[in-house]
Structure 1
Amino acid sequence: MATRLSGVARAFGDRVVLDSLDLELRDGEFTALLGRSGSGKSTLLRALAGLDDEVTGKIDVTDSVAVAFQEPRLVPWKRLLANITLGLDAPADKAKAALAEVALTERSDAWPLTLSGGEAQRASLARALVREPELLLLDEPFSALDALTRITIHQLVLELWARHRPAVLLVTHDVDEALLLADRVLVLDEGRIAHDISITADRPRHREDPDLVTLRTILLAALGVSPEGRS
């Protein structure tokens, strides 16, 4: 197992966000986490990343964890190559290889503020990959991208995952995104994992696949939304 959580809890004042949550993330598996707004998805991710000291319970997680956030969080006063190795002793050739994997070799000397949204998110992925993580945490990294760029980045993420095979936990609001990318979809509700669904459809996947259509209906119902989008 890459990660195991047992009895994990987190509250903000009187509001319980994680309630004795149990979860296992399997080595090399791509998992998507869905939940309504405020359900605690990002709180759970921060707990796995070791970024929340107030979480209680038992978290057994690999020492090799990397995170890509919704905002790329590149340091604006460092050029792109320096951003990739920030906080690491990684040699420059390793960082250059990571940039090559996300097709940013020609932008290695660029300032972050000159990057497009898609380029910045690819840079964020390169910064995560250069750490060679066993667990890759993705906190809604595609939500700010336009539709065409999102499709491109989806494909890139699947290629990188297939090549490096870390365990992946993707936090997302998008049911179709979860179905197209993940091996397994979790639904977080009332502080616990309320649904755990495996997806066996071959990749590349298509929204119109009958099996995915059925799973979409199940997941939307779990989130309190009808297939027509009515709550």
Structure 2
Amino acid sequence: MSPEAALPPLSTRTQSPVSATARREGEPVAVSITGLHKKFGDKVVLDGIDLEIRRGEFVVLLGPSGTGKTTLLRLLTGLEKPDSGEVLVPSRRTTVYQEPRLIPSKRVLGNVAVGQRRTGETKERATRALAEVNLAGKARQWPATLSGGEAQRVALARALVREPELLLLDEPFAALDALTRLQMQDLVGDLVARHRPAVLLVTHDVDEAVRLADRVLILDKGRFAVDTDIDLARPRDRTDPESLRYRAAFLAELGVGRTLPTTTT
């Protein structure tokens, strides 16, 4: 990692991210991880990390492939167990993956409500969730008739209908074209602001992180090399000098580029 790349916003380099969430002290803690260790064979993947994420906080996790991002996400979903340490998460948590994972034999509305009790209230909630992702007219369609972006919006509606306290996003926009990806980022940002779950988004896309995050984490060698807030107004302009400075600093931490853009006064 490149210390010369670190701007003042990236100066929080600690395994205890309490300072990064201090401004949201009034919000309840949704995720609490303490002393988390995880290894596969002889390879240490997560080396004693601590993490808190509060309700309403949008956290983006960056890092090269193989640094433990997916392992951390699986630990939060309960699909993996830690070797040691404590992982506390709310029972109401949902995950949106890179693939929509829709059931071909169920119509769109049925996919949104899948796993829920079949009641009038469930149908109403599923219908509202579809409207929130701008698919109110697609309830009776089959998944095979949807575009990639529409299918991913159904997956998002399926997550939201459960009213999660924790929303986990595993590179949910990676398979979309550039324009649809930007539209989905805006939609997710709006929905998170409205519903206020705690969010952890795993991505390789630095621009996506700067556009969406309240806070960015970068994993390296099993620990957080960066844990920093992004103090930019929304909506964010990717060409804004401050956005470019965050972008350059994160890329430098990831080993891509070494020179920060200059600004004129």
TM range (shorter): over 0.9
Q: What is aligned with 2:206?
A: 175
Q: In 2, are the aligned partners of 1:34 and 1:188 still within 8 Å (CA)?
A: yes
Q: How does 1:100-115 map to 2 (within 5 A)?
A: 100-115=131-146
Give the alignment partner of residue 133 of structure 1, picking from 148, 164, 170: 164
Query: How many pairs does the alignment contain?
Result: 228
TM-score norm. by structure 1 comes to 0.95
Give the alignment partner of residue 142 of structure 1, picking from 173, 178, 182: 173
Distance in 2 of aligned mates of 1:55 and 1:117 = 37
Q: What is aligned with 1:32?
A: 60
Gaps of 5+ in 1: none
Deviation at 1:80, TM superposition (A): 1.2
User: Which aligned segments of 4 or more residues in structure 1 are displaced greater than 3 angstroms?
Assistant: 53-56
> Which of 1-10 and 118-127 deviates more?
1-10
Deviation at 1:56, TM superposition (A): 3.4
Give the alignment partner of residue 197 of structure 2, picking from 161, 166, 180: 166
What is the identity, as a one-letter code, of the residue corresponding to 1:123? V
Distance in 1 of aligned mates of 2:238 and 2:157 = 28
> Which of 128-137 and 43-52 deviates more?
43-52
Gaps of 5+ in 2: 1-28, 260-265
What is the identity, as a one-letter code, of the residue corresponding to 1:200? D
Q: What is aligned with 1:52?
A: 80
Report Cα offsets for 1:137-161 as digits up to 9, x if no partner: 0000001000110111111111101
Q: How does 1:196-207 map to 2 (within 5 A)?
A: 196-207=227-238
What is the identity, as a one-letter code, of the residue corresponding to 1:208? T
Distance in 2 of aligned mates of 1:212 and 1:204 = 11
What is the identity, as a one-letter code, of the residue corresponding to 2:125? K
Three-state SS of the structure 1 residue aligned to 2:251 is: helix
Deviation at 1:55, TM superposition (A): 4.9
Distance in 2 of aligned mates of 1:227 and 1:162 = 34
What is the identity, as a one-letter code, of the residue corresponding to 1:132? E
